Amino acid sequence: MLRFIFILFATGLLVAIPIVLFGRIVPTQEKSTLNTRDAILAKQETARGLRPDGILDRFGGWVGYAPASARVQASDETVGLGASEAGEASNSAAERFADKAFYDDFSAIAVIEEVSDITDSSSPHWWVSAGGHMLMGSGMAETMQGTRKEGDVWQQKYAQGEQADVTDNGAHPQNAFRVVQRGLWGNIQHDVYFRIARIIESEHEQRDAANGVFLMSRYVDSENLYYSGIRVDGTIVIKKKQDGAYHTLFTKKLYDGAYDRDSAASLLPLDKWIGIRTIVENTLDGRVDIAVAIDRDRKGNWEIVGSTTDDGATYGGAPFTNDGYTGIRSDFMDVQFEDYTVEKKE
């Protein structure tokens, strides 16, 4: 009997038989680390060296993207397809997705690097315009987390750029995080859940009560858009940025307490999932109605906490009535996101 077992071991059959019968046996420790941030980054880097022309899907397969020029010239037939389908269909310019809705559960594994032009984004769905990168996978997306080491690629880039002071000499590119969803939308309801992991207590003067987590709507460019959400001083806000000038359309105190830059840098809870939702609709007389809602405890109980109307006269110039992009903005914090949804309103 022992001789028989020895023969099986020597020929490799003793190892091969259980693999054939039961599949690869994965150690418990390996299983527990498969979905960590480091594992996702390592898997992405191993697969294609963080190349900007694709991602790993949730099954570990490579989803290749066509070059930006090819995406621009692609047919509308691929618009609205999932990541894998879009990759196989050469990927459209992603100027418009499905007519009714867009949803991302962030299960596809990807590191979406910041680029200056939306057409150069490695993702057909997302464009990171500021903040270094967005990491996504296993049901969650997040800004950069922690502090960039001296010599890190993004640390060097930001240290040498116009945002050096804002990003603490490149140590925290996520101090000004902006990610745009690449579909064009008109009347919509869109929402996301966020969890603040850390407030970055930078010495820069732009770290103040107005920082927070916001949804961007009717985004034309970085100088023209609406945004609404929750500030670190516990205030709900709806704002309009037009030609670079900010206009406050609505504010309301939501979280109790007194904000203090040094002793109470944020009144928002850490490590708690909170939902924010924005509803944007044109009126028949050419105005834009905007409402914001929150789900405080992630139980699906959405509460309208503020609303306003951009009449084209009170707040700067004409309202943004044309279709635009949506997206997420956060300031001076490490944040994680789940379940980004855009729904068209009839």
Is 334 part of a structural domain of the chain? Answer: yes
124 Ramachandran zone, left/alpha/beta (phi>0; psi -120 to 50): alpha
345 shares its domain with 203:
yes
202 shares its domain with 96:
no
Is 268 part of a structural domain of the chain? Answer: yes
Nearest to 202 by CA among 245, 232, 239: 232
Domain boundary among 176, 207, 235: 176
Lookup: tokens for 99 = 């007519």
Amino acid at 222: S
What is this structure's pTM? 0.75
Lookup: tokens for 231 = 């500030």
154 shares its domain with 193:
no
- The DSSP output letter for 256 is -
Separation between Cα atoms, residue 208 and residue 265, nearest integer Å:
8
145 shares its domain with 251:
no
Is 296 part of a structural domain of the chain? Answer: yes
Query: Phi and psi (nearest 5°) for 106?
Result: 60, 35
205 shares its domain with 332:
yes
Residue 169 burial by CB count (10 A; 0-12/13-18/19+): exposed, middle or buried? Answer: middle
107 shares its domain with 218:
no
- Give how many domains the chain has, as a whole number: 2
Nearest to 133 by CA among 124, 149, 121: 121
Is 4 part of a structural domain of the chain? Answer: no
159 shares its domain with 253:
no
Is 18 part of a structural domain of the chain? Answer: no
Q: How many residues does the chain have?
A: 346
Is 12 part of a structural domain of the chain? Answer: no
213 shares its domain with 115:
no
128 shares its domain with 148:
yes
172 shares its domain with 194:
no
Q: What is the pLDDT of residue 296?
A: 95
Mean pLDDT, the chain cut into blocks of 10 residues (346 residues total)? 42 40 32 42 41 38 35 34 36 47 94 96 96 96 97 95 96 98 96 98 97 98 98 98 97 97 97 98 97 96 97 95 98 98 91
Q: What is the pLDDT of residue 113?
A: 97
Domain boundary among 142, 176, 210: 176
- For residue 254, give its domain range: 186-346
Is 5 part of a structural domain of the chain? Answer: no
158 shares its domain with 55:
yes
Cβ neighbours of residue 65 closer than 8 Å, sequence gap 6 or more: 53, 54, 55, 71, 87, 91, 122, 123, 124
Domain boundary among 176, 198, 219: 176
